[in-house]
Amino acid sequence: MSNIGMFDRIARVVIAFALMYWAMTPTGPTLSAGYTGMFLLATAIIGWCPWYMSFGANTKKQ
């Protein structure tokens, strides 16, 4: 049951790595950016987003 399209997955991976990199810098917000990046990466890998499901959104082509 996937609800994330390919473009959305690629965007999530790019944003996730950027946030996790930012979290590792000395001036970055370590926990919030890191956890958000991990969440985005996990949802991109599995292809399912719980927020999309709760709002009835679906970016995957049928």
Structure tokens at 50: 């719980």
Q: Where are the domains of the chain?
A: 6-54
d(CA 45, CA 61): 17
pLDDT by residue (tens digit) across 3-12? 899 999 999 9
pTM for the model stands at 0.85
- Residue by residue, pLDDT tens for the chain (62 residues) are 888 999 999 999 999 999 999 999 888 777 889 999 999 999 999 999 998 888 888 888 87
Per-residue buried b or exposed e for 40-50, using 16+ beta carbons within 10 Å of the residue's own CB: bbebbeebebe
Cβ atoms 48, 4 nearer than 8 A = yes
